[in-house]
Amino acid sequence: MSGKLYVIGLGPGPACWLTPEASAALEEITDLVGYFSYVDRIEPRPGLKIHGSDNRVELDRSRAALKLACAGKIVGVVSGGDPGVFAMAAAVLEAVENGPDEWRALDIEILPGVSAMQAAAARLGAPLGGDFCAISLSDNLKPWELIERRLKAACDGDFVIALYNPASRARPRQIFDAFALLRRLRPENTPVVFARAVGRPDERITLTTLGEADPGLADMSTLVLIGATATHLIERPNKSPLVLTPRSYGAER
Amino acid sequence: MSGKLYVIGLGPGPACWLTPEASAALEEITDLVGYFSYVDRIEPRPGLKIHGSDNRVELDRSRAALKLACAGKIVGVVSGGDPGVFAMAAAVLEAVENGPDEWRALDIEILPGVSAMQAAAARLGAPLGGDFCAISLSDNLKPWELIERRLKAACDGDFVIALYNPASRARPRQIFDAFALLRRLRPENTPVVFARAVGRPDERITLTTLGEADPGLADMSTLVLIGATATHLIERPNKSPLVLTPRSYGAER
């Protein structure tokens, strides 16, 4: 007898950004699987078994979750943000692809959520108002040369850039290398945002420019936004400026 | 006395994807402003004045909403999906930038939502599992040459591509031109998805390849996903295939 596997997006943190679909799944599951920081967000309840695991063991965690579902459990693998955006959906599918046949027969449902770049953008105005791209700076799973190639292509296409996983204790330097590259390709007055822990008690948003930014501000909980050439500020009295990438291109401001 | 303006993301359609934050704002507002299709999703209630407007009048609608807020109303401008992703947040900010000073003093809050590419991705597995970009194909506000430049850059960077606004009655040909370009730059077996009205009663998802796709499937309600070189299918017994862009690059499948 076979269970079910949900891959549940918890959003950036606060309950106000958790979809009703995700809330309902969290009520239905018998087994909760995830990185400690994410499972800690869920209130324990009778009948819910919690399987917390360390960061950077996404495949092991996925396999454990698939085994539980095959044993008849209703399993929820939780992800911060949207599971489809640099989170657990791809890891679960990689495990399915390389696992036993019975995993392909499982009922698997991905529940989308608000991702960090959207929460950050909402705080600032409309920095993603034009075409944009999202790049993970982690070279744990892809070569740094590919990341450089993508940063260059993003500049060639004049996309707004959202950088996920900009830095961690094990990878403190990539964000410095990325900024060195971007500074050769985009004007130094390009708006840059470091949005840390948006929606959580330790939220900290830093609005700066490509020329003046300190890449050292980025950590594991930070989403970095790099404006396109049209991105600019709207100054306001007694309020922080709004950041706008206009929908139109080459138009008068 | 000054009111407030919310820009509210309604998500792709169903209530299960509407955030609690958006629901609370919809209860708080006195005035609801938006394109007819979006305001029609909201249950009328005593005390809520509804201002529906036609599509393609985003700036007029934004100005009307800002005037209401300046007159002391609690205004909600509603957007499908995420207001920050090819939706109303940028239009509202453009109106603020070019409007009277009092608009800059207003309390404006953007409420993020699940965007169409995320809902589409969730239905399919993990097509956005790697780096990706989002491009609006509408040339109402930017030159077609810029769109072509961005499609080329997206291929140079081997990004998964999410195409918003692929076609409308007034612009039926762009999606054909875009596919003609993409077919020169990506292999014909690249997975392609037409995700129409995801989450709504008329949802229709078509999984095909770049070589075989009929661009005529795209309309105003369609989100088109074009895989990167690593994007591929995971076949399943008695189930539709999953679409995966793996997190790792160049690894064995």
Q: Which amino acid is at A10?
A: L
Across the interface, do A83 and B238 touch by the CB < 8 Å criterion? no
pLDDT at residue A212, rounded to an integer: 98
DSSP string for A96-159: HHTS-HHHHTSEEEEE----HHHHHHHHHEETTSS-EEEEE---SSS-HHHHHHHHHHHHHTT-
| A26 three-class SS | helix
**Rounded to whole angstroms, how far apart are CA atoms B112 and A236?**
22
Residues of A in contact with B17 (CB under 8 A): 19-21, 112
Across the interface, do B246 and A89 touch by the CB < 8 Å criterion? no
> In the predicted model, is pLDDT for residue A89 greater than 90?
yes
Residues of A in contact with B247 (CB under 8 A): 58, 86, 90-91, 94, 141-142
Across the interface, do B150 and A130 touch by the CB < 8 Å criterion? no
- Nearest C-alpha in B relative to A89: B126
Mean pLDDT of A15-35: 98
How are strands ordered across the β-sheet holding B160-164? Answer: A204-209, A191-196, A222-226, A160-164, A132-136, B132-136, B160-164, B222-226, B191-196, B204-209
Mutate to test the interface with B, among A58, A61, A110, A238 (most CBs of B within 10 A): A110
Give the model's confidence band at B19: pLDDT under 50 very low, under 70 low, under 90 confident, else very high. very high
Mean pLDDT of A25-41: 96
Mean pLDDT of B128-145: 95
Whether the Cβ atoms of residue B114 and residue B232 lie closer than 8 Å to each other: no
Across the interface, do A249 and B18 touch by the CB < 8 Å criterion? no
Which B residues in the span 31-60 are in contact with A, Cβ-Cβ below 8 Å? 58
Mean pLDDT of B139-154: 95
Across the interface, do B131 and A130 touch by the CB < 8 Å criterion? no
Give the model's confidence band at A113: pLDDT under 50 very low, under 70 low, under 90 confident, else very high. very high
pLDDT at residue B250, rounded to an integer: 64
Whole-number mean pLDDT of chain B?
95
**Rounded to whole angstroms, how far apart are CA atoms A135 and A230?**
20
Mean pLDDT of B41-48: 96
Which B residues in the span 123-182 are in contact with A, Cβ-Cβ below 8 Å? 123, 125-136, 141-143, 146, 149-150, 152-154, 156-159
> In the predicted model, is pLDDT for residue A192 greater than 90?
yes
pLDDT at residue B1, rounded to an integer: 58
Question: Which domains does chain B carry?
Answer: 4-114 (3.40.1010.10), 117-244 (3.30.950.10)
Across the interface, do B111 and A128 touch by the CB < 8 Å criterion? no
Could you report the per-residue pLDDT of A127-171, keeping only the tens digit for each? 999 999 999 999 888 999 999 999 999 999 999 999 999 999 999
Across the interface, do B153 and A153 touch by the CB < 8 Å criterion? yes
**pTM beyond 0.95:** yes
**Rounded to whole angstroms, how far apart are CA atoms A108 and B241?**
12
Could you report the per-residue pLDDT of A45-60, keeping only the tens digit for each? 999 999 999 877 899 9
Cα A22 to Cα A8, A197, A251, B12, B164, distances in angstroms:
6, 20, 41, 15, 25
Give the model's confidence band at B114: pLDDT under 50 very low, under 70 low, under 90 confident, else very high. very high
> In the predicted model, is pLDDT for residue B210 greater than 50?
yes
Taking the Cβ of residue B97 and every Cβ of chain A, the question of whether any pair is shorter than 8 Å is answered with yes
> In the predicted model, is pLDDT for residue B253 greater than 70?
no
- CA geometry: angle at A166 spanning A17 and A145, to 5°? 130
Give the model's confidence band at A248: pLDDT under 50 very low, under 70 low, under 90 confident, else very high. confident
pLDDT at residue A91, rounded to an integer: 97
Give the model's confidence band at B29: pLDDT under 50 very low, under 70 low, under 90 confident, else very high. very high
pLDDT at residue A252, rounded to an integer: 39
Across the interface, do A236 and B136 touch by the CB < 8 Å criterion? no
- CA geometry: angle at B176 spanning B88 and A156, to 5°? 65
CA dihedral A158, A164, A170, A176 (to 10 degrees): 30
> In the predicted model, is pLDDT for residue B184 greater than 90?
yes
- In chain A, the percentage of residues whose pLDDT exceeds 90 is 94
Taking the Cβ of residue A66 and every Cβ of chain B, the question of whether any pair is shorter than 8 Å is answered with no
Mutate to test the interface with A, among B79, B131, B147 (most CBs of A within 10 A): B131
- In chain B, the percentage of residues whose pLDDT exceeds 70 is 98
Residue, of A63 and B2, whose pLDDT is higher: A63
Residues of B in contact with A94 (CB under 8 A): 244, 246-248
Whether the Cβ atoms of residue A130 and residue A246 lie closer than 8 Å to each other: yes
**Rounded to whole angstroms, how far apart are CA atoms B242 and B207?**
10
Mean pLDDT of B190-215: 98
For residue B93, give the nearest of A16, A234, A250 by CB distance.
Answer: A234
> How many A-B residue pairs are in contact by the CB < 8 A criterion?
251
- CA geometry: angle at A208 spanning A205 and A214, to 5°? 90
Which B residues in the span 73-92 are in contact with A, Cβ-Cβ below 8 Å? 82-86, 89-92
Across the interface, do B114 and A119 touch by the CB < 8 Å criterion? no
Give the model's confidence band at B252: pLDDT under 50 very low, under 70 low, under 90 confident, else very high. very low
pLDDT at residue B248, rounded to an integer: 85
Could you report the per-residue pLDDT of B223-250, keeping only the tens digit for each? 999 999 999 999 999 999 999 999 987 6
